[in-house]
Amino acid sequence: MGSLVFTIANQKGGVGKTTTAINLAAALADKKIPTLVVDLDPQANATSALGVEKQEGKSLYGPLNGEGDALSMITETQYANLFLIPSEVDLAAAEIELAQSENYLMKLRTTLQPVRDSGRFKAIIIDCPPALGMLSMNSLAAADFLLIALQCEYMALEGLGQILKVVDKLKTANVNAALEVGGIIMTMFDVRTNLSRQVVEEVKKHLPDKIFDNVIPRTVRLSEAPSFGKTIFAYDPLSPGATAYKKLSKEIIERFGLSK
């Protein structure tokens, strides 16, 4: 089996997208599943959270413009089986430049194809910017599965409807007919509030087969870890956040048939 490509997208910022991308990837890597994180956000939060220095010319900006190739951008991280294509601020320009190019929605898919074909990775996880712009749309066109990080609050439910409509449009327009919603990851779950439970129940009611059983708690340790350039497993392996991402990775391995 070739690489499975997951994109973690949500047009809303601050929902735990990057936290989920790096910690899910780290949990898969810990189970000896070769995993690649593609940082597609010009803010490069996934890059710094994995302890990798931002470098000019070390991102997908060049390859998306036909300069260089994605394979040469792959960087080792401090963790076994976990690799990264970093981001840099130049990627922000790609939002504008992609719109002016031919087949603009397919650029990332074409750019990542040699990486998929290389057979080096079982899972490729794309971390998107917090907007449904050109880069996020390209990631949806390149992915097999969309994983939606959804914050446990009511406003998030509106955003969920919007992103599901975008997926339908991409499928019906034959941009990516095979794209599936792989699952909804409930993040920032606060055990002390009824609201968190109500939001989870609401999503379960409407999309029972899509929501993952394991929810990600709102914890200080999960928020702190990226500022030290560490995953939650390196920063506080016994914390509730680490436990939650381990359990989520197990669900994802089972749901998508990922194994060593």
Out of 3.40.50.300, 3.30.70.270, 3.90.45.10, 3.40.50.720, select the CATH number for domain 4-256. 3.40.50.300
Please check the confidence at residue 18 and state whether its pLDDT lies above 70: yes
Mean pLDDT, to the nearest integer, of 138-143? 96
pLDDT of residue 13: 66
Contact criterion met (CB below 8 Å) for 120 and 34: yes
Please check the confidence at residue 12 and state whether its pLDDT lies above 80: no
Percent of the chain, pLDDT > 70?
98
Residue spans of the domains in the chain: they are 4-256
Please check the confidence at residue 65 and state whether its pLDDT lies above 80: yes
pLDDT of residue 130: 87
Please check the confidence at residue 121 and state whether its pLDDT lies above 70: yes
Please check the confidence at residue 1 and state whether its pLDDT lies above 60: no
Give SS3 for 189: strand
Please check the confidence at residue 57 and state whether its pLDDT lies above 80: yes
pLDDT of residue 155: 81
Please check the confidence at residue 64 and state whether its pLDDT lies above 90: yes
The structure's pTM equals 0.96
pLDDT of residue 193: 87
Please check the confidence at residue 17 and state whether its pLDDT lies above 60: yes
Please check the confidence at residue 61 and state whether its pLDDT lies above 90: yes
Nearest by Cα to 146 from 18, 6, 1: 6
Mean pLDDT, to the nearest integer, of 222-248? 97
Question: What pLDDT digit, counting tens, does each position of 154-204 carry?
Answer: 887 888 888 999 999 999 999 999 999 999 999 999 988 898 999 999 999
pLDDT of residue 123: 98
Q: Are strands 82-85 and 123-127 parallel, antiparallel or unpaired?
A: unpaired
pLDDT band at 153 (very low <50, low <70, confident <90, very high): confident
Q: State the SS3 of 49-110.
A: HCCCCCCCCCCCHHHHCCCCCHHHHCEECCCCCEEEECCCCCHHHHHHHHHCCCCCCCHHHH
pLDDT of residue 260: 59
Q: Give the residue, 9 or 211, on which the prediction is more confident.
A: 211
